[in-house]
Amino acid sequence: MPAPTATRSVTITAVHMDLGAGRRGVDMGPSAIRVAGLAARLSRLGYDVREAGSVSVREPEVCPVGEAHVKYLEEVRACCTTLRDRTLEASRRARRPSRSAATTPSPSAASPRRPCSTVAAGSPSGSCGSTHTPT
């Protein structure tokens, strides 16, 4: 069976973060997802997959804890800001027409924004709390 033609793209960015979590080990999630073959499975579903590496996060042992109800606030904020910036850039890249598709509108261009359902490590709500345009 021939592979489906890629019409949509997805960028994978890992965030290995234990900060804010009640226990250590949460930072292994992105590696486990990659080992399980996320990129290959998305490719088989017809997505053009781009691996964007990882957002750098310091380990809890080298960060100031801060207040008990908002542990590691500055480090978590810096990580989330970096992830947001990378996500926005990936979204912009996905919307830029390629030479071969300059006259074909991107399938994601007309997509509505929706609440993020991505599980964000270290987030109290379990998601990043943003809205995103699917690509």
Cβ of 32: how many Cβ atoms within 10 Å? 9
100 against 89, higher pLDDT? 89
Q: What is the mean pLDDT of the chain?
A: 74
List domains and CATH numbers for the chain: 8-102+113-128 (3.40.800.10)
For the ranges 3-7, 62-66, 80-84, the one whose mean pLDDT is highest: 80-84
pLDDT (mean) for 79-89? 94
What predicted TM-score, i.e. pTM, was given to this entire model? 0.62
- In terms of Cβ atoms closer than 10 Å to its own Cβ (0-12, 13-18, 19+), residue 39 is middle
Instruction: Give Cβ neighbours of residue 126 (< 8 Å, ≥ 6 apart).
Output: 119, 120
Q: What is the amino acid identity at position 84?
A: R
Residue 117, CA distances (Å) to 42, 66, 82, 120, 127 in order: 17, 28, 19, 9, 6
* pLDDT one-digit tens code per residue, 91-123: 998 876 654 433 333 344 333 444 444 444 444
For 4-40, write each residue's pLDDT tens digit: 554 688 999 999 888 876 777 888 889 999 999 999 9
Alpha-carbon torsion, ordered 70, 74, 79, 84, to 10 deg: 90
Decide which of 74 and 132 is more confident: 74
